Amino acid sequence: MSETARFEEAARRIVESSCREQGLEVQITDPVVVGKVAAILRVGSAAPAGGDPVRIEAVETPDGGVDRDRVEHGKEDRPLAA
C-alpha cells in the first residue's frame, strides 16, 4: 500500500470516528449544505492578494549553502558548510 493510500485510509477512519462520536452522517447529501461547504473551501483556497503568502517567512541556510535535500536531526546539528 502506498504512503498516499495509507494516509487516505487513516484520514477516512478519523473522519468516520469523529462523525460517529458527534452523531453526524459521514456523507453529506443535502445539496444546500454541500453548496455552502464548497463555497467555504473555494474562499479558503484563494491565494493571498498579490500572490504573496501572509505570515510565512522564507527559509534560507545561514550561509547560503546547499544541503542537497538532506535533513538530519541530531545533537551535533549545525549550519552546513558552503
pLDDT over threshold 90, residue 80? no
Q: Is the dihedral of CA 9, 15, 16, 18 positive or negative?
A: positive
pLDDT over threshold 60, residue 50? no
Alpha-carbon distance 14 to 9, whole Å? Answer: 9
* Spans of all domains in the chain: 3-46
pLDDT over threshold 70, residue 54? no
pTM for the full model?
A: 0.40
Q: Which of 46, 48, 65, 64 minimizes the C-alpha distance to 56?
A: 48
C-alpha cell at 82: 558552503
pLDDT tens digits for range 1-47: 899 999 999 999 999 999 999 998 888 888 888 888 888 887 766 65
